[in-house]
Amino acid sequence: MLRTHDFLVVQYDGEPDMWSVKPPLMVWLQALSMQLFGMQEWATRLPGAIASTFTCLILYLFFARRKAPLLGFLAAGVLITSLGFVGLHCSRTGDYDPLLTCFTTAYCLSYFAFMEEGKTNHLYNTFVFLILAALTKGVAGLMFLPALLLFTLYKKRLVGLLKDKHFYIGASVFIFFVLGYYLLREHNNPGYLAAVQQNELGGRYTQAQEHNEGVFLYYFNNMVHYHFTVWIWLLLPGAIAGMFIADRRYRDMTIYLALLVLVFFLIISTAQTKLFWYSMPMYPFMSMLVAFFFAGAWQVLRMRRVPAVVLGLLLPVIFIWPYLDILEKTKTKPNMGKEGWDNAHMTEYMQVPLHSGVPVGEAAVTYTGYHANVAWYLEAMQEQGQPVSFCPPDKCPIGNVIVFQDSLKKYMETHYQTTILQTYHNVTVYHLNGTRQ
């Protein structure tokens, strides 16, 4: 995008990307970050990290404005000690989901404020954040809408909402920006809407894409064993505690949060394509429910005349082990299998010249299949002016070639006269002296 200045059609390898067909808001922010800070890994991750920080701030401010800042602090504490929020493909990596989670959290809580107070500005905030969520990850940004409808029915506000002119103004603005983007890209990139149907709508929901299938309880099992391990057992007690808080707003809030979690869980669990990071938008609302457990426990302890200073000292103690646990888990490298490790070692090899400034020398990189991270490092090195390029395996020039896939090593040694110059784990640098006759 930075090279082509085409800010409408997202490209991959010089062609319109018809596989990852999400709208470009996250790509815009990453391009802006790299324009400001250069081709660095942290520059691509920065928008997601900022979005996750804002998600925590949204939780805190939501409760602080209801004169319960401690609940906001607790909810944010639970959230940042959950691997489903800070782990791989989430807050710490350059993926779409941190930005999506920020905007879905914002529009869901804005809508609750509208239901609670009836103020027009909350309804407009809902539509603004809904638009941003849809422009981040398409249909995934709309998956909480059925829960909003159910809560509206519960509050007996549907008829009033449908009579509100501001609802139609907000809906019209949503259609203008979101549908407008899809139609404009289809005009500039024919076939885009068909690709959206296959990858984002019915195709991905009814059929497992790229063999990413799983059982109905796939996401629940992930929560129990990986993503919400410390807090999952306090989720139901937290919901029960929320129903018994004296202030009726918290009972309504508990019902609302439960609807958000259950509806979203059912949608992603019934979809045939399952990827563990799809559950990330649920975790802010689950963290709020867990915070209700602590609020209920706090009330009980205060009724038993436990000194406030003792309760204040308990708070950091509660989060010490979860925090240390999440630090250890985020440092532990995932089990990626041999193909994944070969890819990781290739990017580690390319990091050295990128960060040290010591050129790798004139060389070509060859690989087959989808290896976007390798392509990113290759682009970054080229931006530095290093004489590296990509070549298909059957069209590699005479000279140095970097290979990390076993099948291509066999191909090189079979079809070219080779000399091994350097190895790093499974990465091999060959000098091609000529082709074999």
Give the pLDDT confidence of 47-102 residue by residue, as tens digits.
999 999 999 999 999 999 999 998 999 999 999 999 999 988 899 888 999 999 99
pTM of full prediction above 0.85: yes
pLDDT score of 272: 83
DSSP 254-316: HHHHHHHHHHHHHHHHHSS---GGGGGGGHHHHHHHHHHHHHHHHHHHHHTT--HHHHHHHHH
Confidence of residue 330 (pLDDT cuts 50, 70, 90): confident
pLDDT score of 207: 67
Q: Bigger pLDDT: 354 or 231?
A: 231
> Can you tell me the mean pLDDT for 163-179?
97
What is the rounded distance in angstroms from the CA atom of residue 254 to the CA atom of residue 424? 54
> Can you tell me the mean pLDDT for 354-373?
87
pLDDT score of 149: 98
Q: Is pLDDT at 359 greater than 90 in this prediction?
A: no
pLDDT score of 39: 86
Q: Is pLDDT at 310 greater than 80 in this prediction?
A: no
Calculate the average pLDDT of the chain.
91
Cβ-count burial 345-368 (b if 16+ within 10 Å, e if not): ebbebbeebbeeeeebeebbbbbe
Q: Identify the DSSP state of 334.
A: P
pLDDT score of 411: 93
What is the rounded distance in angstroms from the CA atom of residue 97 to the CA atom of residue 141? 10
User: Which residues lie below 8 Å from residue 184, measured CB to CB, with a gap of 6+?
Assistant: 8
Confidence of residue 208 (pLDDT cuts 50, 70, 90): low
Give the pLDDT confidence of 370-406 residue by residue, as tens digits.
899 999 999 899 888 889 999 999 899 899 999 999 9
Q: Bigger pLDDT: 239 or 311?
A: 239
